Structure 1
Amino acid sequence: MARGRRGLISAAVTVVCAVTVLAAPGPAFAAAGAPRPTPTPSASSSPAASTDKELEEVRERLEKLYREAAAATDAYNAAEEKADEQSRQLVELAKKIVKGKEKLAELKERAGAAARAQYRTGGLPPEAQLMLSEDPEEFLDGTGRVLQGERATKHLIEETKRTQEDLEQYAADASAQWKKLEANRKAKATAQKKIEKQIAAAEKLESQLEKEERERLAELEREAARKAQNDWLDTGILDDLDGKATARGKQAVKYATAQIGKPYVWGAEGPDSFDCSGLTSQAWASAGRGIPRTSQQQWQQLTRVPVEDMRPGDLVIYFDDASHVGMYIGDGTIVHAPRPGRTVTIAGAGSMPILGVVRPDAG
């Protein structure tokens, strides 16, 4: 935030005297060690090697940890977006307060000038001024001007009162916005702690595996994704998928696929790294269409379309909590930023549980 902007916010929040405390965060998950293998009496297996069943348990545990981290990332991104908006609103309120103070000072100066003019007439009632006047006609002209002056003074008083009321309202609004800003800063901090805790737990779990176990675990992940994709394709979904991308959809797909190979970093929106919704929101921004920042907001706010009607550029939302999103690019595939430790890649659209599909450029 620029120094001038900070100054405006500072001017606006001098009225703030309390900070809203964010509600306590939801339960965090403690890091867990990997299930240690029980030696399997086999001539072809090492005593330290885990069975596929045990590695499958590890895979499911890792998936759970990374999904929880993804949900926390959505919360972090939403809080950050709200905090940015509240900062902008505080700046606007600060500008209004500054202008209001300048206007009030001008009105007070005008009121003072009117008071000084009245003092110069001696504050005499009109009858006395008529009797003392050497030129009654001039007096009558002056009386008209006095009446105009009285009306102007009344208007001046009313305008001053409205300006003071506006300043009080701006101050109250600034106080409320400041409290919301602080609450969202706390929400960001809470989400960040949860993200870091979940990722650390997952990394610790993976670090306890031997090289051969990590390789087998990666193969199990690929097998699970292939099975899910094949099950999805076996429904005949591709037989109905013939939607053509719009010009904007093509541009969004072009941007997203150009990021393949870049690392996943939670909260990132490019250009060097992305999280899942950072990739999709920036892809559509490149096509001239601003969309919500998080996968949950994208699910809630964008137009939903049937899966069988999706076309390249549409966003596929995953899991019951809408914690992941990818962009459909055709032929039953998506481009997405999977999770920490992975890079932007192409995957089967059905390789994860689909919640639904949304269309950024509907209509």
Structure 2
Amino acid sequence: MRRPLRTHGYRAAAAVALACALTAASQQGAQADLQTLTEVQAKLQSLYHDAEVATDKYNAADGKVTAQSKRVSALNAQIRTTEVKLTRLTTLAGAAARAQYRGGGVPAELQFALASDPGQALDNAGLALQAQQNTQNLLTNLTATKSALRTRTDDAAAELKRLRTSRRAMAAQRRTIEQHIAEAKLLESSLAAKERQRLADLEKKESDQAQAKWESTGILKKVGTDATTAGQKAIAFATKQIGKPYVWGAEGPDSYDCSGLTSQAWLAAGVTIPRTSEMQWAQLKHVPVEDMRPGDLIIYFSDASHVAIYVGGGNIISAPRPGRYVYESPAASMQILGVVRPDA
């Protein structure tokens, strides 16, 4: 049977009511009056999950803008290099034409007739004609290259503009993230110390039960126990971050969000992986849970909104959510979607 949520005094009750009202304002269909600890827990989990999803989307949008900006810069650099070559070649071609003019402008036929060595004159004329033709061909090719580069750059710039617009939309969601986090913190802080402890105990109990159920399948007898050299380095990095705070969008060195921690851990091992948990799930090699080994990444929830690094012994290291710190915890304390391997 669910026990009713008890608070101490009128001010604590008012704080809970305010937290519930704010939650209802931003979450359609949310109940305005949370009456039990399990409902409080469910609401907190929903708020933090929504915040993590929005965080992942913003990180992905920001990453695309950064990559596209580099692409546009690279294309502009290619255009500048081509323009320098065109200018230099055009100058050389003009100088050659002026030199020929200063040479008297005598037709090649007459030069051939008057030359003491007609064969040499013919060779010289042929070489000059070939050089002129080569120069003209190069000028034509460079002009076409510049035009093609300009088209590609214009297209890339248009895509960059679209991505920046998308990132602005994600920035608006960023404000929603902050609102969700503030609501969750207000809801937690509204609980009396005794109720917060009961809530923590409830979370731990559910986590332990989920882990026990998972381990009862014999999974730990199947999974690998030895990490690769790169996996060991990734785990060592993650371990050193224990105790650092969760901050959405952060990727170190002083704070992390979930995918910021895993991406930086593997970067420390010399392996570059996607920035967000959703992209890590989409792009890295999938391995069956029973075949995972330390260093692999466990992806959580059906929308791949959370990720942690498996460190062996049935445990993970992760940056869990706002208000918490990087820590080691049971691998099955959350809904496992699957496992990916960065060093496949």
The 2-side partners of 1:113 and 1:343 are apart by 70
Q: Residue 286 of structure 2: SS of its match in structure 1?
A: strand
* Structure 2 Cα separation of the partners of residues 201 and 71 of structure 1: 11
Equivalent in the alignment of 2:309: 327
Q: Provide the C-alpha distance between the structure 2 equivalents of 1:118 and 1:251, rounded to a whole number of angstroms.
A: 68
In 2, Cα distance between the equivalents of 1:296 and 1:51? Answer: 34
How do 1:242-261 residues align onto structure 2 when only pairs under 5 Å count?
A: 242-261=224-243
Residue matched to 1:296: 278
1:240-292, CA deviations, whole angstroms, 9 ceiling, x for partnerless residues? 23431122212211111111111111111111000111111111111222222
The AA in structure 2 aligned to 1:158 is N
**Tell me, what secondary structure is at the counterpart of 1:264?**
coil
Q: Following superposition of structure 1 onto structure 2, how do residues 23-42 of structure 1 map, counting pairs within 5 Å?
A: 31-32=26-27, 35=31, 37=33
Paired with 1:316 and 1:126, the residues of 2 have a C-alpha distance of 78
Q: Which one of 132, 149, 153 corresponds to residue 128 of structure 2?
A: 149
Moved more, 336-345 or 137-146: 137-146
What residue in structure 2 maps to residue 117 of structure 1?
Answer: 99
One of 348, 353, 356 as aligned partner of 2:330: 348
SS of residue matched to 1:200? helix
Contact 2:300 2:337 in 1 (8 A): yes
Partner of 1:64: 46
Separation in 1 of the partners of 2:68 and 2:181?
34
Q: Does 1:203 find its partner at 2:179?
A: no
Decide which of 338, 344, 358 is 2:320's aligned counterpart. Answer: 338
- 1:206 to partner: Cα distance: 4.2
> 1:234: how far off?
2.5
Give the structure 2 partner of residue 318 of structure 1.
300
**Which stretch shows the higher mean deviation, 291-300 or 267-276?**
291-300
Q: What TM-score, normalized by structure 2, do the two folds share?
A: 0.84
The aligned residue for residue 11 of structure 2 is none
Q: Secondary structure at the match of 2:206?
A: helix
Q: Which deviations, in whole Å up to 9, do the C-alpha atoms of 1:205-231 show, x marking residues without a partner? A: 541433244444333333332332222
- Partners in 2 of 1:123 and 1:189 — Cα distance? 64
Matches within 5 A, 1:70-219: 70-129=52-111, 133=114, 136-138=115-117, 141-208=120-187, 209-212=190-193, 213-219=195-201
Identity %: 44
Aligned residue for 1:306? 288
Structure 2 residue aligned with 1:233: 215
Counterpart residue type for residue 183 of structure 1? R
Q: Structure 1 pair 297/163, CA: closer, same or farther in 2 (3 Å)? A: same
TM-score using structure 1 length: 0.79
**Residue 96 of structure 1: how far off its partner (Å):** 1.5
**How well do the aligned residues superpose, as a CA RMSD in angstroms?**
2.4
Q: Work out whether residues 62 and 202 of structure 1, in 8 Å CA contact, stay in contact via their aligned partners in 2.
A: no
C-alpha distance in 2, partners of 1:58/1:173? Answer: 53
Query: What runs of 5+ residues in structure 2 fail to find an aligned partner?
Result: 1-23
Amino acid at match of 2:87: A
User: 8 Å contact 1:30–1:201 — kept in the other structure?
Assistant: no
Aligned pairs for 1:41-56 (under 5 A) are 51-52=35-36, 55-56=37-38
Question: Which amino acid letter does the alignment assign opposite residue 312 of structure 1?
Answer: P
The alpha-carbon deviation at position 162 of structure 1 amounts to 0.5
CA distance in structure 2 between the aligned counterparts of 1:215 and 1:203, rounded to whole angstroms = 20
SS in 1 for 2:339: strand
Letter in 2 for 1:238: L
Query: CA–CA distance in 2 between the matches of 1:106 and 1:351?
Result: 66
User: Once the two structures are superposed, what CA deviation does each residue of 1:293-347 show, in whole Å capped at 9, x if it has no partner?
Assistant: 1112211222221111211111101111111100111111111001111111112
Question: Between Structure 1 and Structure 2, how many residues are aligned?
Answer: 317
Q: Which runs of 5+ in 1 are unaligned?
A: 1-28, 38-49
In structure 2, how many angstroms separate the alpha carbons of the residues matched to 1:100 and 1:36?
Answer: 65
Letter in 2 for 1:350: A
